[in-house]
Amino acid sequence: MRDWITTETQATTEPATFAFDANTKIHALQTAIERVIKGKSETVKFALVALLAKGHLLIEDVPGIGKTTLSNALARALDLSFQRIQFTSDLLPSDVIGLSVYNQRSGNFEWKPGAIFSNIVLADEINRATPKTQSALLEAMAEEQVTVEGVSRPLPLPFMVIATQNPAEHHGTYPLPESQLDRFMMRLHIGYPQLDDERRILRDRESRNPLEFVRPVMSENDLLELQQRAAEVRVDDALVNYLLQIVELTRKSEMLELGISPRGTLALFRSAQALALIEGRDFCIADDIKRLVVPCFAHRIIVNSRTSSSKQKMREAEQILSDILQKISVPI
């Protein structure tokens, strides 16, 4: 059975000056999500980075950590259309993007849009679907449109895919191909909560689900404005050169089969701009780039080792990126 849930909410706020408007709205959004996701401020912040940078987000971790909860909290805090697609082995590409259905009364084929036609799309457990169904997302994520039967149909803007996946070692999963991974701006891991945070989670859920208390704090126009502000954040030439040196070393490293693509370079550039905006600046610093190298690059590079498990390769990829950062002088 095809299983997706649609949730829509509404809210409006008035735009203000750069300093007040951006900081206040971003803080309200982060606070709303952290009411549900306890003790994971950095993870929540990076999720907002992907949102403001007009990117897509992949959240990978073991079951029960809060991947879907984080995605739901983000969607509920925005005044945008939201659809959840539960990826399963029998899900078809037409369930995702839509299809034309023959209407016997009119004698014509009518277009029935799929779940992808929404502002925020949660692709839950994306690696449980077959590669054929996974590939249905490629054009949508890269070009914000889908082409069916020779007709290209634009997706609503803003548009973001938030995908969750279990580690590849788990049963019933299909590894995402490199072309799919490269379309995700960032990959995040939530990790187990600290003892005090887990105690708060238990208390919060004694009587009701905290998600029920998450209300929209940002409208569509607010988000579009913040995305535009993020794109206007200044990045000095010295920082651009610093970023390109990191990318170049991934392409030359003997430990890697595949370095960073130009799409990956642009992902880190835009993410650094968004992080600067979230932290109240209209200019980037070197630390913005350093903090985002692993979440933006680790899922894009391929380690040479052929015997390691995917989890080991992930750790090796993160270590290789850390070593590369150590080799490059940080611009002052």
Based on the fold, state whether residues 206 and 247 are members of the same structural domain. Answer: no
**C-alpha closest to that of 222 among 112, 115, 119, 140:** 119
Backbone angles phi, psi at 257, to 5 degrees: -80, -30
Q: What are the CA-CA distances from residue 299 to residues 64, 258, 329 (Å)?
A: 22, 11, 24
* Residue type for position 208: R
Whether residues 138 and 247 fall in one domain: no
**Which run of H or of E encompasses 69?**
helix 67-76
Asked if residue 128 is part of any domain, the answer here is yes
Q: Which two tokens stand for residue 230?
A: 């993020």
Q: State the CATH number of the domain containing residue 159.
A: 3.40.50.300
Statement to judge: residues 67 and 180 lie in one domain: yes
Same-domain status, 88 and 204: yes
pLDDT (0 to 100) of residue 29: 94
Residue 129 lies in a domain: yes
Q: How many domains does one find in the chain?
A: 2
Give percent of the chain above pLDDT 90: 53
Q: Which of 206, 232, 258 is the last residue of a domain?
A: 232
Residues in the chain with pLDDT < 50? Answer: 1-20, 307
The DSSP 8-state label assigned to residue 135 in this structure reads G
My answer on whether 175 and 64 are in the same domain is: yes
Residues 33 and 55 in one domain: yes
The closest alpha carbon to 113, from 135, 85, 90, belongs to 85
Domain stop point among 232, 249, 280:
232
Q: Do 119 and 250 sit in the same domain of this protein?
A: no
Report the amino acid identity of residue 272: A
Non-local CB neighbours of 145 within 8 Å, separated by 6+ positions:
139, 152, 153, 154, 155
| Residues 79, 24 within the same domain | yes
Domain boundary (232, 255, 271) is at 232
Q: Is residue 274, in this structure, part of any structural domain at all?
A: yes
The CATH number for 280's domain is 1.10.8.80
Same domain, 38 and 159: yes
Q: Look at residue 184 and tell me if it is in a domain.
A: yes
Q: Which helix (H) or strand (E) holds 257?
A: strand 256-258
What does the angle CA 59 – CA 25 – CA 226 come to, to the nearest 5 degrees? 75
Q: Are residues 150 and 247 in the same domain?
A: no
Closest by CA to 249, choosing from 310, 329, 308, is 329
Per the domain annotation, does 77 fall within a domain? yes
Which residue matches tokens 């993410």? 271
Structural element, H or E, at residue 252: helix 237-252
In 65-201, DSSP assigns E strands to 81-86, 98-103, 108-113, 120-124, 145-148, 151-154, 160-165, 186-188
Domain ranges, residue 219: 4-232
pTM of the full predicted structure? 0.86
Give the model confidence (pLDDT) of 79-104 as tens digits. Answer: 888 899 999 889 999 999 998 888 88
Same domain, 112 and 228: yes
Per the CB < 8 A criterion, the answer to whether 298 and 318 are in contact is: yes
Pair type for strands 302-303 and 256-258: antiparallel
Whether 209 is in a domain gets the answer yes
Q: Please state, in angstroms and rounded to a whole number, the distance separating the CA atoms of residues 242 and 134.
A: 34
Query: Does residue 94 fall inside a structural domain?
Result: yes
78 and 198 in a single domain? The answer is yes
Q: How far apart are CA 83 and CA 75, in angstroms?
A: 9
Please indicate, yes or no, if residue 332 is contained in any of the structural domains.
no
* Other CB atoms within 10 Å distance of the CB of residue 155: 20
